Chain A
Amino acid sequence: MFRKIFLLSIPIFIFDGAIAQVDSTATDSLLLQVQEQLALSTPPPTPPLRTAASANPDISVIGDFRLEYQDQLKRHFDANMAETEFSFQSVIDPYAKADFFYSVSRDPGSGEFKGEIEEGTVSTLSLPAHLQLKAGKFKQQLGRINPVHPHALAFIDMPNAYVRFFGEEGLNDEGLSLSWLLPNHLFFQELTVEETDGPRESPVFARSLKNHYLTLAHLKNFWDLTTNATLELGLTGITGANKTEHTTNVAAVDLTYKWKPVQMNTYKSFTFQNELYYSQADFDSSRTNALGLYSFISLQVAKRWFVTARYDYTNKPDEAHFKEQAGSATLGWYATEFQKIELEGKYTSANEEDELNNFKKQFAQVFLRWIFVIGTHGAHQY
């Protein structure tokens, strides 16, 4: 009798009472057999160990190893550990989060490895009116590639216009950044205003010794054209002091079209990205207007393979007569989310030699880059 009650109680327990309403004895019997077999064949459930529960921040280390070839130098080949980036990211408390990126790379002058805070920021999570405030040292909200860390880009070298205007490291400055999500329900709009100290190493701007700081405003507009296609238009205005303590103004426009089929988004994608910079720099007795742009297409041809082609055109912000063009092609193999190898060939042609950087009028370069990540690294922007 007790055995019968016990056996009948098994399916009742498993199905949370539903079987109690079953009126067919044959059905009960079959279900009972199924459950008995299940109990015998299923291993006992593992206790829910939440193994990673920890107060430590997300920590990662990213290696960027490069082999380079330049036909214009006496020493053609070079191997270097271009960057080692340490990141520490975590929520501080219910009100804010912190992101630190510490970068170690070889100083071109001394040849010694030097470390620096690439970014170190606190960002609010709970300001009203859809506002977010960021303070610290950060990559500024200029266009599409400046806020992105180089290891996440689809090419190895930075576009010529970007380097000529803002330097290899781009606009990366200390100050405040306030962004506002506009109450537009039709498409995404975000306005960012930044007030910073003035960059220490940038061709177009300089850190003023007077009360002349760098002000940047960026409006990001984003549309979902279809489920699989998006369009982004960004408008940026920057004003700040240059090396002569006069003012330089920069206007920038970025336009990006992305196609990524939602269902097969790990196999196929296409990106067409363009950025244009226009600067107006006042010097002691003259004014120089300069233009720079890049345009690239990147095609994911298979789950692990990407092909990218880029065109660069630029003046120097202080020498409008200097004109430089470049074309490059990059082949990328993405082993996993944590490792990729890229090979880039590039040809540069200018209307005059760049004596400052010891560049000839025409030269070719080849880069091989191996990016590898350990630890937990936060997602990059779309």
Chain B
Amino acid sequence: MKNKIKLVILCCLAMVTNIFAGTIRVVTTTQDLKSIAEIIGGNKVEVFGIATGYQNPHFVDPKPSYIIKLSNADLFVTIGLDLETGWSPSLLNSSRNPKIQKGNPGYVDASAGVQLQQVPSSINRAEGDIHIYGNPHYWLDPLNGKQIAKNICDGLMRISPENKTFFEENLKKFNETLDSKMKSWMLQMAPYRRTKVIAYHNEWCYFENRFGLQIVDFLEPKPGIPPTPAQLVKIIGEVKSNAIRVIISSPYFTNSSSDVVARQTGAKVLTLATSTGAFDSVKNYFDVFDYNISQLIGALK
């Protein structure tokens, strides 16, 4: 009887080991990277995304529980630049996992090769939270999704070369889907080119330039500085003089200041999806743009 029990336990252990043996464990800093990694990695990967889709990716608390995920990861994918500078370096240092440290095959900087916007010529914190490498919210241009996907695909191929063809095929399918959706998004947004809007924080420049919007000003007087009464007065004037109809905000900012402007001017406050998972209906990277474009069109038409 005892031998039978031992045999059953051994069989179970062997099964569990087999199930996990071929799975590549990926940890991403954001849900957009998770979504793309799942598309490229398919059933070969198990992905954990640290920041939720409705969370400010600049200010994630480096909880020790994330260290467990990182300590067992085969691949780490980061938005890079200095978006996660306040939390991901300390988590990586504590992970005790040499595979995913910067410079090693399991480290993927998704920003590699991305054409950056708003690269500063000098660094001065009197201008607020400026980003030393350029604006890091590049995933909000869907065409940059292709570069992100390529970087993730390269990372997966580095650590699992035997699945090279599988990853490349998934990358091709991802690009084809994106191209097809891109056509639709551009057509939908075509009537609203050069439409002036106000944004809460300077995180929409890639989306703005791709879809031809024109962000006139921000509720934050400087990046990271909460709206001041003087700034709100200025914004109210700009909204009225430019007949602006939409104020773009994000799920992690309070709408109290935006609502003041909305009440004074009749403009509508739109909380858009900054990431996959921002709202229940935004389940993958493509949904981010489906959601945002449908919201914008609904408010502008």
Contact = CB atoms under 8 A, between A and B. Distances in A.
A18 B182 contact: yes
Contact of B224 (A34, A125, A260, A336): A336
Given A34-B190, A34-B212, A188 B179 contact: no
Interface string A121-164: 00101110011100000000000000000000000000000000
Residue from B62, B68, B114 with most neighbouring chain A CB atoms (10 Å): B68
A17 B179 contact: yes
A265 B51 CA distance: 12
Given A48-B115, A265-B56, A266-B252, A260 B93 contact: no
A314 B182 CA distance: 66
Given A34-B193, A41-B194, A224 B187 contact: no
A187 interface: yes
Interface string B150-179: 000000000000000000000000011001
B101 A41 contact: no
B179 A15 contact: yes
Given A230-B63, A336-B224, A46 B117 contact: yes
B212 A41 contact: yes
A49 B115 CA distance: 10
B119 interface: yes
Contact of A27 (B64, B146, B187, B254): B187
A51 B120 contact: yes
A303 B226 contact: yes
Interface stretch (B4-12, B84-92, B237-245): B84-92
A27 B187 CA distance: 8
Contacts of B190: 30-31, 33-34
Contact of A260 (B61, B87, B103): B61
Interface in B13-63: 52, 54-56, 59, 61-63
B46 to A, nearest CB: 13
B88 to A, nearest CB: 9
B98 interface: yes
A94 B93 CA distance: 12
B65 A31 contact: no
Interface string B220-257: 00001110000000000000000000000001101000
Contacts of B87: 379
Residue from B62, B94, B175 with most neighbouring chain A CB atoms (10 Å): B94
A110 interface: no
Q: Helix, strand, loop or mixed for chain A's interface?
A: loop
Interface in A1-48: 15-19, 22, 27, 30-31, 33-34, 37-38, 41-42, 45-48
Residue from B56, B94, B96, B194 with most neighbouring chain A CB atoms (10 Å): B96
Interface in A356-382: 374, 378-379, 381-382
B183 A52 contact: no
B164 to A, nearest CB: 21
Contacts of A17: 179
B3 interface: no
A265 B64 contact: no
B296 interface: no
B300 interface: no
A51 B54 contact: no
A188 B149 CA distance: 31
A224 to B, nearest CB: 5
B209 interface: yes
Contacts of A260: 61
A265 B90 contact: no
A18 B179 contact: yes
Residue from B123, B129, B212 with most neighbouring chain A CB atoms (10 Å): B212
A27 to B, nearest CB: 7
B183 A378 contact: no
A113 interface: no
Nearest to A131: B96
Contact of A262 (B55, B62, B65, B115): B55
A181 B65 CA distance: 11
Contacts of B89: 378-379
A51 B226 contact: no
Contact of B96 (A181, A262, A338): A181
Contact of B175 (A16, A48, A224, A264): A16
Contacts of B120: 51
A15 B187 contact: no
B86 A220 contact: no
A222 to B, nearest CB: 4
B252 A264 contact: yes
Given A49-B133, A262-B55, 12 more contacts: A34-B186, A46-B119, A51-B123, A52-B123, A91-B102, A94-B98, A125-B101, A132-B94, A181-B68, A374-B125, A381-B62, A382-B64
19 contacts: A15-B183, A27-B187, A34-B193, A48-B119, A51-B119, A51-B132, A52-B123, A131-B96, A230-B65, A232-B64, A262-B52, A262-B55, A263-B54, A264-B252, A265-B56, A265-B252, A338-B125, A379-B86, A379-B87
